[in-house]
Amino acid sequence: MMISCQHESQHTHSPVTGFSNSKDSMSYSIGADIGDNLINQNVDIDYDAFITGLKNGYEKKEHLLTMQDRKGLFKSLQKRMRGRQQIESQKSLALAESYLKKNKLENPGVIETNSGLQYKIMKEGTGKSPESSMDQVRVHYEGKLTDGTIFDSSYEKGEPYVIRLDRVIKGWTEGLQLMKEGSEYEFFIHPRLAYGGRANNNIPANSVLLFKVELQKVFDKNIK
């Protein structure tokens, strides 16, 4: 989602291509952070009005709108954003339900548990299984969204992941207890067994999470 910034050719200043000191680099960083946040929240702004407001505030000039007016506008913006987020979340949940329903019917070998967790056995191991959510395991994994975007991967990091099962999403806590050491499974995780309607970094709200997981080891001792 892109922000609509109305800055056209009338802005003739040259773009900053390098920084000579900590002040200009920090200034850029603050601006970039504000821009990123506006885009992430899908806020539509008028670029010139935004810069005017920024300068008036920073230079302690008289504001063109009263504090009361600004508070009212912020409340209205927050209300619109919540409504938009709720609509998008509902759409995403419907898409997730549809994806998993189709996956169960059309993907050979997919098994669904009572919780709604779907998994597929790619390789069955012969070692021991975790016995509870308190067990510590070592895994290699890759996590993707349904569009194929990889959002996390121990393979890319170059080392396996060690974690206790009560410190991961519900889909992992349940799914890893189905596995034996040496197994490789695919998990198709419903949003309610992952992050639900809450976005998490580069994972949108109500996303189905797809994981390839290798269970390498179940440790005898728990993490303290």
Domain of 177, CATH number, reads 3.10.50.40
pLDDT of residue 100: 98
Residue 161 forms part of a structural domain: yes
Residue 44 forms part of a structural domain: no
Residue 123 forms part of a structural domain: yes
Q: Categorize the per-residue pLDDT at 17 as very low, low, confident or very high, splitting at 50, 70 and 90.
A: low
- CA dist 208 and 192 (Å) reads 9
Instruction: Say whether pLDDT at 223 is over 70.
Output: no
Query: DSSP letter string over 167-224?
Result: GS-HHHHHHHTT--TT-EEEEEE-GGGTTTTS-BTTB-TT--EEEEEEEEEE-SS---
Please give the mean pLDDT across all residues of the chain: 87
- Catalytic residue numbers read 141, 151-152, 169, 195, 211
Q: pLDDT tens digits for 33-73?
A: 888 888 877 788 888 888 888 888 888 888 888 889 889 98
Instruction: Say whether pLDDT at 112 is over 50.
Output: yes
Better-predicted residue by pLDDT, 81 or 14: 81
Instruction: Say whether pLDDT at 80 is over 90.
Output: no
User: How many helices, marked H, and strands, marked E, lie in the chain?
Assistant: 5, 7
Residue 57 forms part of a structural domain: no
Q: Categorize the per-residue pLDDT at 142 as very low, low, confident or very high, splitting at 50, 70 and 90.
A: very high
Q: pLDDT tens digits for 177-201?
A: 999 999 999 999 999 999 998 888 8
At 222 the three-state DSSP class reads coil
At 155 the three-state DSSP class reads helix
Domain count for the chain: 1
At 186 the three-state DSSP class reads strand
Residue 180 forms part of a structural domain: yes
Residue 77 forms part of a structural domain: no
pLDDT of residue 111: 98
Instruction: Average the pLDDT over 144-172 and give the result.
Output: 96
Residue 67 forms part of a structural domain: no
Residue 21 forms part of a structural domain: no
Q: Range of 206's domain?
A: 109-218
Best CA proximity match to 133, nearest among 173, 90, 91: 173
Query: What pTM does this model have?
Result: 0.69
Residue 125 zone, left/alpha/beta (φ > 0; ψ -120 to 50; rest): beta
